[in-house]
């Protein structure tokens, strides 16, 4: 069956999506956008204003006397006689003082000579002793001139802060304060009493009526559309103002579906619009990194890293935690998470790919010989490689990293 005929059948299925009670069913249409509409007459709740006989109240004023204690204030004063008020200020005073600094000079250099006496030197040559006299010589050397120092006076400006007491006369004056006291006071106040009377009131009353209600759902498909295959059921409630979404994933081996409802809007009375956003997540692409199989690993003492892996087709990133354990030193030597696809790639004759990179760029320290260094030719290593799947934004994603353990030997 041609793709054209399949598309026509799919459109017809979408157009004839049936509604059972408040339910709307449709299938993925193969495109990026879709519109589904549910229109039907339903019983809705409306409201009207209704008059009824009730009781109202008038507020009638009247005068009454209230008594009680109140806090009042009276002024209390006392005379303070004049006084001399003093405080300390600081004045900056400067003067020149004689100080001394050392000045040194070096005289001219001079030559000192001494006589080295001659010396008799003997040695054995072919069983007989031969001697010769080394003549005396004059040895001279240059010595630096004599260093002479003296103290030289100079004037330096020195400033200091000196305390100075200043006083001023404060004349006598009255000092007054407000002191509280309790006073019993009676006042005439206005109060109100309620008097009932018959009146007509208005209240809001709900009632049921039948209306044609329309809810248009704009469906937006994103993600791995080329692999998507799903059926959808929308169950409407709340007088068709909202709906619950049920999804049947027909390709759950390769895709996972995430959806959310957004942008609810009441266009006019009993005419609603919503947007259903559906994302298809490509599980094959996410699984690709954890399906890579390492065949062999080589590591040099300086951190040159070579890893032979199976075909990398479809792998967009190979996020890997590399752990190198020194089996002889019995300690962790290197641990780092790296995207191995940043390394150089070489296609091998057997169809595998060789990844080559320098771990020293990621903190690898050179492997050094131990106590028996002169006898060490190689260092045994254990290497674990943990491949991580692509990060997923879909809730409930259960893809887990895969760890492989290999052995390697670094030549020293």
- Tell me the per-residue pLDDT of 188-235, one tens digit each, with 9 for 90 and over: 999 999 999 999 999 999 999 999 999 999 999 999 999 999 999 999
**Residue 11's pLDDT is what?**
38
Q: Tell which residue, 398, 396, 362, has the closest CA to residue 290.
A: 398
Q: What is the average per-residue pLDDT within 264-277? A: 94
**Residue 10's pLDDT is what?**
40
C-beta separation of 312 from 293 below 8 A: no
pLDDT in tens, 107-150: 888 888 888 888 888 887 777 888 888 888 888 888 888 888 88
Residues composing the chain: 412
C-beta separation of 91 from 164 below 8 A: yes
CATH, range 292-411: 2.60.40
pLDDT(363) > 90:
yes
Q: Which DSSP helix (H) or strand (E) runs through 379? A: strand 378-387
* Structural tokens at position 246: 């049920």
Q: What is the average per-residue pLDDT within 23-51? A: 92
Q: What are phi and psi of 82, to 5 degrees?
A: -65, 155
**Residue 3's pLDDT is what?**
37
Q: Tell which residue, 242, 211, 228, has the closest CA to residue 34.
A: 228
Domain boundaries, the chain: 19-47+206-283, 292-411
Residues 6 or more apart whose CB falls under 8 angstroms from that of 24 comprise 17, 36, 38, 217, 233, 234, 236, 243
pLDDT in tens, 166-190: 999 989 899 899 999 999 999 999 9
> Please, is 201 exposed, middle or buried when counting C-beta atoms within 10 Å of its C-beta (0-12, 13-18, 19+)?
exposed
Q: Where does the pLDDT of residue 1 fall: very low under 50, low under 70, confident under 90, or very high at 90 and above?
A: very low
pLDDT(268) > 80:
yes
Q: What are phi and psi of 93, to 5 degrees?
A: -120, 135
**Residue 392's pLDDT is what?**
64
Q: What is the average per-residue pLDDT within 240-253? A: 93
Cα end-to-end span (Å), the chain: 66
Strands 353-358 and 378-387: unpaired
pLDDT(12) > 70:
no
**Residue with structure tokens 């157009």?**
15
């Amino acid at each position: 069956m041609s793709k054209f005929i399949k598309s026509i059948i799919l459109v017809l299925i979408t157009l004839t999506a049936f509604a059972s009670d408040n339910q709307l069913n449709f299938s993925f249409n193969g495109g990026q956008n879709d519109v589904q509409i549910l229109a039907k007459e339903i019983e809705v709740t409306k409201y009207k204003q209704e008059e009824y006989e009730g009781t109202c109240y008038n507020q009638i004023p009247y005068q009454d006397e209230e008594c009680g204690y109140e806090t009042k204030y009276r002024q209390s004063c006392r005379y303070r006689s004049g006084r001399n008020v003093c405080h300390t200020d600081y004045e900056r005073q400067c003067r020149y003082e004689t100080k001394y600094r050392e000045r040194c000079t070096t005289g001219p250099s001079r030559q000192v000579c001494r006589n080295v006496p001659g010396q008799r030197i003997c040695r054995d040559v072919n069983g007989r002793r031969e001697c010769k006299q080394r003549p005396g010589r004059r040895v001279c050397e240059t010595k630096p001139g004599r260093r002479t120092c003296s103290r030289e006076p100079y004037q330096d400006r020195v400033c200091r802060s000196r305390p100075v007491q200043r006083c001023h006369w404060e004349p006598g004056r009255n000092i007054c304060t407000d002191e509280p006291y309790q006073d019993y006071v009676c006042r005439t106040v206005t109060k109100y009493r309620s008097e009932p009377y018959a009146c007509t009131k208005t209240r809001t009353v709900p009632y049921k009526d039948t209306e044609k209600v329309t809810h248009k759902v704009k469906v937006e498909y994103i993600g791995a559309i080329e692999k998507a295959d799903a059926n959808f059921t929308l169950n409407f409630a709340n007088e068709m103002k909202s709906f619950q979404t049920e999804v049947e994933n027909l390709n759950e081996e390769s895709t996972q579906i995430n959806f959310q409802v957004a942008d609810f809007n009441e266009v006019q009375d009993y005419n609603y619009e919503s947007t259903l956003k559906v994302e298809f997540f490509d599980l094959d692409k996410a699984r690709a990194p954890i399906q890579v199989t390492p065949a062999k690993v080589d590591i040099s003492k300086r951190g040159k890293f070579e890893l032979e892996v199976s075909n990398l087709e479809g792998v967009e990133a190979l996020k890997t935690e590399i752990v190198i354990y020194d089996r002889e030193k019995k300690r962790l030597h290197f641990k780092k998470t790296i995207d191995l696809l940043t390394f150089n790639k070489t296609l091998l004759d057997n169809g595998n790919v060789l990844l080559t990179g320098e771990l020293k760029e990621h903190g690898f320290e050179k492997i050094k010989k131990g106590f028996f260094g002169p006898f060490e030719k190689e260092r045994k290593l254990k290497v674990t490689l943990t491949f991580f799947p692509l990060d997923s934004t879909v809730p409930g994603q259960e893809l887990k990293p895969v760890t492989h353990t290999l052995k390697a030997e670094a030549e020293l």
